[in-house]
Structure 1
Amino acid sequence: MNLEFDCHSSFSPQLIREWSELLPKSTCHVPFLDPDYLAIWWETRGGGEWQEECQLVLITARYQGQLVGIAPLFYTPDFRGCPRLMLLGSVEVSDYLDFVVLPEYLADFCEQLLPFVRQLSLPQWEMLDLYNLFETSPTLQALTQTAQRMGGSTQTERAYRCPQILLPGDWEQYLATLDKKQRHEVRRKIRRLEASGFNTRWYRVEDGKHLEEEINAFIQLMEFDEAKKRFLTPPMRQFMKQVIRWAHQKGILHLAFLEIDGIKAAAYLAFDMLNRLWIYNSGINPGFWDFSPGWVLVAYQLQWANEHHREAFDFMRGDEEYKYRFGAVDRFLDRLIITLPNN
């Protein structure tokens, strides 16, 4: 079927509305494809990852007037030495990316997208460079086949590990899935903190009245880590704050703190969406290392997620050892590079 394509250089209110309605029905539904999230990403250029010379390229496809697909792209004049088109949200702060397309239109969307992109009035670009696609994404196969039919070349490479835990819905059943040593370690660390004599509590931020205070507290915890402190440039700090506000407004914010004697010892920022927790970032106060506050807070959140019947605990990108010690199993993200003839 012939689709009607168009290219947009801004996030109009109408496009955001239609995009929001399309996303839950698309082949890939993740927090990082929400149009309001991507508008924040674009406003801050990914928290400073990209420069002002980049150009927004939002491509929509309609069938009989109905929006059926979106390729959220941007043009960058110089990434690793050459100009290219990339998925909006690339690369560092948006863990999962893809097109937003109704499944029944995906093949036609990809087949007609590449010829449309090639004839756009854009600065010369050399390749489509698409990061953070699930290895199981049907977009990978559809785009590869289309590019090869057009005489182009394609390259797919493994980009990231994304460990996740599928939850049984019961804390004790979850613990039983761990090996004996790790199960003992989880229980031991929780007991050690709870028997320490300190007043301890963990909580989720729910009341927006103190949201700004909690955002600042979270960023302060992140800054205890020197690598994260360097990461938190002024643009990245702006991006992080806006993302937390966005998640709260959308009703998907899961910002959890562990306090020991009234002092914030650890925090995890996650999104509670689509019946899973998407673990996005964390901060630990090193003054409480003896009590393993980060580890304990992960355990508390896993218990909460089981009790509230979440289906999965998604650690997202990164292969840190502690994730696997909690029983996480890898999923993988791929990077697809497409070079078309005569670009």
Structure 2
Amino acid sequence: MSGLMAETIRSAEALAALEPAWWAVWRRSPDAAPFLSPAWLLPWWEAFAPGRLATIAVWRGADLVGLAPFYVEDGPEGGRRLPVGVSLSDQLDVLADPADRGAVLAALAGAAAQRPEPLLWLELEPGACAWDAPVPPGWREERGEGEACPVLSLAGACEVGGRDADGMPLAVPARRRRKLRMARHRAERRGAVRVETAQDVGCAPFLDELERLHGSRWTSRGEAGVLADEAVRVFHRRALPRLLAAGLAETALLRIGGVAAGAYYGLRDQRRSYAYIGGFDPDFARESPGAILLGRAIAAAADRGAEAFSFLRGREDYKYEWGAADRLNGWRRLSPERPDG
């Protein structure tokens, strides 16, 4: 831990001031997902701010080498520390520069122990840095299983013979690829098929269509959908331009016969693509616009050499039809030992 200095960030202004150094350590962390980037977490805090910031930053001189974005949620029995980004983020963790990983995690744990509130990490994927943070002296640890995040492996998709004639990875089951071809043909018979992005139409118009289509899909099932929440909509309107500028978002608006039939909003990093949220017009259910857009996103992930395509949290049947297999998230809680043991 020699040479490292930890500080606690307690204001939104101080958190925002970290952005350049935050990006630097994020880019040095090969496993860091977009959910840990300032393009995602700064807008989240701006939109929600559900407690008191208690984010820990670890420095080596002028270089930020570790970051644990946390806030304190107060309650009737005291407070607890939760990750910034909780609920809307499907993968959470801490950032630790690989060159200083062990020392950074020790510094983060030591700084965390200076506050009395229990610390709860949620949505940790296998191999997340936070699993390896040491338990501070006088503290105890609990671990548990979280939600499944089905993942499609794209290994071999860039090799000769790794795709079918339509460019779809053979990791996608033949039955799903056949149904995708049928959906494309039905869409073409209904009208001209065109795909636009948020860069083509603008972020606000794209999100307008996404919100409408997402709402239409869920209303047809008697539910509201996550985008019915005003704060969630505000968050995405602040986050999407930043994510696109950083190359961390993928968007697609599918028009069939000039009508917006489906929308897709995904995330990406160096190694993976993530299907985050989408929607479609129930009047186009026979054309399966959601499947057409997912197929397009999976093919694009394979084109850029991504190793996996994550469908994120939830065990919906359609994810397994695409060939995905469960990858389980988990949670970890660190809390001070009570005097009575």
Asked if structure 1 preserves the Cα contact closer than 8 Å seen for 2:151 and 2:327, the reply is yes
Which residue of structure 1 lines up, in the alignment, with residue 23 of structure 2? 20
Which residue of structure 1 lines up, in the alignment, with residue 144 of structure 2? 157
CA distance 1:330–1:77, shift in 2 (3 Å): same
Select the residue among 273, 288, 293 that pairs with 1:292: 288
Map 1:1-343 onto structure 2 (within 5 A): 1-2=1-2, 3-10=4-11, 11-12=13-14, 14-26=17-29, 28-45=31-48, 51=50, 54-78=51-75, 83-90=79-86, 92-120=87-115, 125=117, 127-140=118-131, 142-143=132-133, 145-147=134-136, 150-167=137-154, 168-169=157-158, 171-172=163-164, 174-194=168-188, 196-207=189-200, 210-224=202-216, 225-226=218-219, 227-229=223-225, 231-341=227-337
C-alpha deviations, 1:298-317, integer Å up to 9, x for none?
12222333344443322222
C-alpha distance in structure 1 between counterparts of 2:113 and 2:268, whole Å: 38
Residue identity opposite 1:136 in structure 2: G
C-alpha distance in structure 1 between counterparts of 2:53 and 2:241, whole Å: 23
Deviates more, 1:163-172 or 1:320-329: 163-172
Unaligned runs of 5+ in 2: none
C-alpha distance in structure 2 between counterparts of 1:164 and 1:315, whole Å: 6
SS at match of 1:60: strand
Unaligned runs of 5+ in 1: none
Q: State TM-score, norm by structure 1.
A: 0.85
Q: State TM-score, norm by structure 2.
A: 0.86
Asked if structure 2 preserves the Cα contact closer than 8 Å seen for 1:200 and 1:258, the reply is yes
C-alpha distance in structure 1 between counterparts of 2:260 and 2:85, whole Å: 31
CA distance 1:339–1:252, shift in 2 (3 Å): closer
C-alpha distance in structure 2 between counterparts of 1:206 and 1:171, whole Å: 28
Residue identity opposite 1:76 in structure 2: E
What is the CA-CA distance between 1:9 and the residue it aligns to?
A: 1.5
C-alpha distance in structure 2 between counterparts of 1:154 and 1:273, whole Å: 31
Residue identity opposite 2:130 in structure 1: T
Percent of residue pairs identical: 24
Asked if structure 1 preserves the Cα contact closer than 8 Å seen for 2:145 and 2:331, the reply is yes
Residue identity opposite 1:198 in structure 2: G
C-alpha deviations, 1:8-27, integer Å up to 9, x for none?
12343542111111111136
C-alpha deviations, 1:10-65, integer Å up to 9, x for none?
343542111111111136411111123211111111xxxx63xx101121112344
CA distance 1:185–1:230, shift in 2 (3 Å): closer
Residue identity opposite 1:203 in structure 2: E
CA RMSD of aligned residues (A): 2.5
Residue identity opposite 2:148 in structure 1: R
What is the CA-CA distance between 1:275 and the residue it aligns to?
A: 4.8
Asked if structure 1 preserves the Cα contact closer than 8 Å seen for 2:93 and 2:129, the reply is no
Misfit runs of 4+, over 6 Å = none
Asked if structure 1 preserves the Cα contact closer than 8 Å seen for 2:58 and 2:107, the reply is no
SS at match of 1:319: coil
Residue identity opposite 1:21 in structure 2: A
C-alpha distance in structure 1 between counterparts of 2:237 and 2:64, whole Å: 31
C-alpha distance in structure 2 between counterparts of 1:329 and 1:177, whole Å: 11
CA distance 1:178–1:303, shift in 2 (3 Å): closer
CA distance 1:342–1:62, shift in 2 (3 Å): farther
Asked if structure 2 preserves the Cα contact closer than 8 Å seen for 1:171 and 1:306, the reply is no
CA distance 1:114–1:251, shift in 2 (3 Å): closer
Asked if structure 2 preserves the Cα contact closer than 8 Å seen for 1:106 and 1:139, the reply is no
Asked if structure 2 preserves the Cα contact closer than 8 Å seen for 1:27 and 1:101, the reply is no
Asked if structure 2 preserves the Cα contact closer than 8 Å seen for 1:8 and 1:58, the reply is yes
SS at match of 1:135: coil
C-alpha distance in structure 2 between counterparts of 1:340 and 1:71, whole Å: 18
SS at match of 2:79: strand
CA distance 1:279–1:339, shift in 2 (3 Å): same
What is the CA-CA distance between 1:285 and the residue it aligns to?
A: 0.7
Residue identity opposite 2:202 in structure 1: H
C-alpha distance in structure 2 between counterparts of 1:180 and 1:230, whole Å: 32
